Amino acid sequence: MERVTATTAPAEPSAAGPRRPVPRMPGAGTRRFAAAGTFVLLGVADIALFGLTARSGDAIFALSLPGAGVQLPAVHVAAAAACFVLGGISVAAGLARGLARLSGRLNRLVIATALVCFLLALLCWSDAANPAGPLNVIGLLQGTLTAAIPLVLGALAGLMGERAGVINIAIEGQLIFGAFAAAAVASAVGVLWFGLIAGSLAGGLLGALLATFAIKYRVDQIVLGVVLNLIAAGLTTYLFNRVMAPYSNTFNSGNFFGTDKIPGLGDIPVIGPIFFDSNVFLYLTYFMIIVVQVALFHSRWGLRVRAVGEHPAAAETVGIKVLWTRYRNVILGGMVAGIGGASLTIGSVGQFQPGMSSGFGYIALAAMIFGRWRPIGAVAAALLFGFSKQLGYVLQLLNVPIDSQVLAMAPYVATIIAVAGLVGKVRAPAADGKPYVKT
């Protein structure tokens, strides 16, 4: 996938004679046909892999949680027939992608259609006449949002840095450092909110290190981010073995936030349990998405940030403090990622384990690119990953004949399919990753 749109400069005359034309960057047509072929293959898999092998009977989808005040009737779907229909839709989407040059919005719609059809066919196949009982859609979507929280916050952290011109590869380290600090402080002090604040500050500390070396000393930002990830992983593992494990009752006691239903909204059938009956981290994520979207694209502050990320020299000439803007954004982004890390511990399980970020920081970067450096698009990619991850857990509970290791791979495979080559050309901020020397 290309982060910068390829352009072709026409041949121009010069004083020394005619200039040789700049060759076009190949791959646009190849990428289109490759994407179309992928969608067709997904459709064939829906038909041949799921439709023809589905157990005879209906797939049953429950639309209410057990014990909910309002119980909606379950939805019964003829599994094999549904797989055939979904496969046909995916094949048609692939043919449309290959035969026509679609606009960016239509192209993304086609991608979403093919992926959703594949996932729905998988659900119908796995739940057809399943003795484990109906598949609870509400629980699946609740788990999707919970799994997406660190990804969304990590993507917002990367977006804030890159919009100002600094690549933040250290999101993975900020997540794991935030998770460790949140668990340790919440356990030691006994106040979960202090743990959340500590997780955010830990992510901000790593962001400050990234900003200092990348901006002041102009260290290669990619290498620097990888080094910070390794330092964070190694330091947290060392402290876990030396402090947390021997004194787990004091520093890793397992405290975590419970669920808080929003009165009125949480009682709405289907929508309420998914969006308004969760813990504080989901509500903080809603808040962060709105704040970053509005601040970056509907405020004077955001205009200045984007100017620094696109043309820092021009921004400097109109009085914008380029270096200070970059410092501020990278540190604030680190604090946002730290909250995402805290959600991994005091937001769910309560206890820290080394390596529990599981590459989420890198997936968050992919989500940011998928979303074209915009919060809403990054959220969509994060939700795709979260759904794939939660689906793997659900399929294991349904005892489908798929190896658990293969199911664990599903979120990463889905992310690769969605991001690597199918999204098309995307352009990063022009000054992204380029050190700025004040004149």
**Measured between alpha carbons, how far apart are the two ends of the chain, in Å?**
34
Tokens matching residue 82: 């549904």
- Within 8 A by CB and 6+ apart from 117, the residues are 42, 43, 46, 86, 87, 89, 90, 93
Residue type, 92: A
Q: Kindly tell me the sign of the dihedral angle through the C-alpha atoms of 103, 105, 106, 109.
A: positive
List alpha helices for 55-170, DSSP H: 79-99, 104-127, 137-163
* Pairwise CA distance, residues 386 & 20, whole Å: 49
Please state, as a whole number, how many other Cβ atoms lie within 10 Å of the Cβ of residue 190.
Answer: 11
For residue 179, how many other CB atoms are within 10 A of its CB? 32
**170: closest CA among 219, 116, 97, 102?**
219
Smallest CA-to-CA distance from 161 within 3, 330, 323, 367 is with 330
Q: Domains for the chain: give ranges and CATH numbers.
A: 28-133 (no CATH), 142-419 (1.10.3470)
Nearest Cα neighbor of 224 from 205, 204, 210, 206 is 210
> How does DSSP assign 223-259, residue by residue?
HHHHHHHHHHHHHHHHHIIIIITTTHHHH--------
Mutual angle of helices 192-211 and 137-163, in 10-degree steps: 40
Instruction: Look at residue 1 in the predicted model and tell me its pLDDT.
Output: 41
Sign of CA dihedral 198, 199, 203, 206: positive
Q: How far is CA 60 from the centre of its chain?
A: 29
> Is the pTM above the cut of 0.85?
yes
pLDDT at 419: 62
pLDDT at 393: 83
The pLDDT value recorded for residue 267 is 87
Tell me if residue 17 falls in helix, strand or coil: strand
What is the maximum alpha-carbon separation in the chain? 82
Q: What is the reported pLDDT for 132?
A: 74
Residue whose tokens read 């954004």: 329
Across the strands, what pairs with 78? Answer: 58
> CA-to-CA distance for 342 and 81, rounded, in angstroms?
44
d(CA 372, CA 105): 12
Low-confidence stretches of the chain (pLDDT < 70) are 1-29, 104, 411, 414-415, 417-425, 439
Which of 282, 35, 332 has the alpha carbon at shortest distance from 151?
Answer: 282
Calpha distance 125→400 (Å, rounded) = 9
Q: pLDDT at position 13, please? A: 45
Q: Which two tokens stand for residue 2?
A: 């290309």
Compute the C-alpha angle 417/418/420, nearest 5°: 65
